[in-house]
Amino acid sequence: MENLKQISFSNGKYFISDKGNVYSANKKLKPQYTHQGYTKTQLTINDIQKGYLIHRLVAIEFIPNPENKKTVNHINGIKDDNRIENLEWATQLENNRHAIAAGLVNWDHLKLRVGKNHPNSKSIVQLTQDYKFINEWESARDCERETEFHQSHINNCANGKYKKHKGFIFMYSSDYNNLLQSRKEDSRAYQGSGQN
């Protein structure tokens, strides 16, 4: 038998069961699947329709969360098994560790996509404000690991959104090499014009 609870923010319009079923006042709602394999439902509250993850609705209404954890973990790893006994509140770190331990995530595959191994990774150079070379890293992530600089700020500098970060200029190595090449060409052109 299912235990039903009113979805607390639905103004009495919707109910959730401890088995993960969602009901309106007069019928069971059919769940939809997200791209990640979780189930969700569409609720209209105060004339605004919005999608809600069913496992979160079950946890919010049935599972105490005294530590105010933000993530709901599927204990058996089955993303559409939204029964109360299969759900627990977790931190993001606890959720990630569970996924790795349960074999739901291929850790070796993840390691291959971080820092310099990420397919979009680009090497970064650090420069003084007058463009003197200081150091080069294989990625902004590698730079962050070895320094006090922040990866997002480094990338924002390299993308031209910021001029500098903590007093330094950061550029993608390819852009820096292009800058050096253009300076060499400008220098040759200047010398070739006979104006020494």
> Residue 147's domain is classified under what CATH number?
1.10.10.10
| Residues 16, 7 contacting (CB under 8 angstroms) | yes
- pLDDT (tens digit per residue) in 96-113: 888 878 888 766 655 555
Residue 19 sits in the same domain as residue 91: yes
**57 pLDDT exceeds 90?**
yes
Q: Which of 116, 135, 121 is nearest to 176 (CA)?
A: 135
- Whether the model pTM is above 0.75: no
Our count of domains for the chain comes to: 2
What's residue 106's pLDDT? 65
What's the average model confidence in pLDDT over 180-192? Answer: 76
Mean pLDDT of 16-28: 93
Amino acid code (one letter) for 168:
F
150 & 73 share domain: no
- Tell me the residue range of the domain where 171 lies: 115-192
Q: What is the pLDDT of residue 6?
A: 94
